[in-house]
Amino acid sequence: MSEDQAAHRRVGPRSDDLGIGAFQTAIEDAYFDRDSARGVDGSFTWFVEEVGELAKEIRQNPRDKQRLTEEMSDVLAWLTTLASLLDISMTDCARRYADGCPKCHGTPCEC
């Protein structure tokens, strides 16, 4: 692993970080009524489309941090929408990885 990669792995929370639970609430406040009307299947389709757009940016513009950030945030928003529609807490999802790999419990993963 390069020094640059190692530095990125160690990036910790900043004082202005928006926690995943607060992010889920913000997405629900902004979009839940519209997302509920669209339903899980329709929202899943949008999620997959956003993953495709992220894949395209990674392949074509891997150094364009602004575009990658935009596409990753869209993927995160649609994933969060799906969690909300299915009554899943994103905090619980994140907590699954809080102590390392959920399979081997290693940090770094050993499996």
Is residue 29 domain-resident?
yes
Is residue 40 domain-resident?
yes
Task: Determine the Cα–Cα distance for residues 92 and 105; give it in Å rounded to an integer.
Answer: 17
CATH number at residue 34: 1.10.287.1080
Q: What is the pLDDT of residues 56-74, one digit of tens each?
A: 999 999 999 999 999 999 9
Is residue 54 within 8 A of residue 26, CB to CB? The reply is no
Is residue 75 domain-resident?
yes
Is residue 76 domain-resident?
yes
Is residue 102 domain-resident?
no
Task: Determine the Cα–Cα distance for residues 93 and 86; give it in Å rounded to an integer.
Answer: 13
Number of structural domains (the chain) is: 1
Is residue 37 domain-resident?
yes
Task: Determine the Cα–Cα distance for residues 70 and 57; give it in Å rounded to an integer.
Answer: 10
Is residue 51 domain-resident?
yes
- Record the tokens describing residue 67, joined without a space: 């575009």
Is residue 105 domain-resident?
no
Non-local (6+) Cβ contacts of 71 within 8 A are 50, 53, 54, 57
Q: What is the pLDDT of residues 30-62, one digit of tens each?
A: 999 999 999 999 999 999 999 999 999 999 999
Number of Cβ within 10 Å of residue 89's Cβ equals 13
> Which residue range is the domain that position 25 belongs to?
19-95
C-alpha dihedral (55, 79, 26, 89), degrees to nearest 10: -150
Q: Report pTM.
A: 0.83
67 backbone dihedrals φ, ψ, rounded to 5°: -65, -40
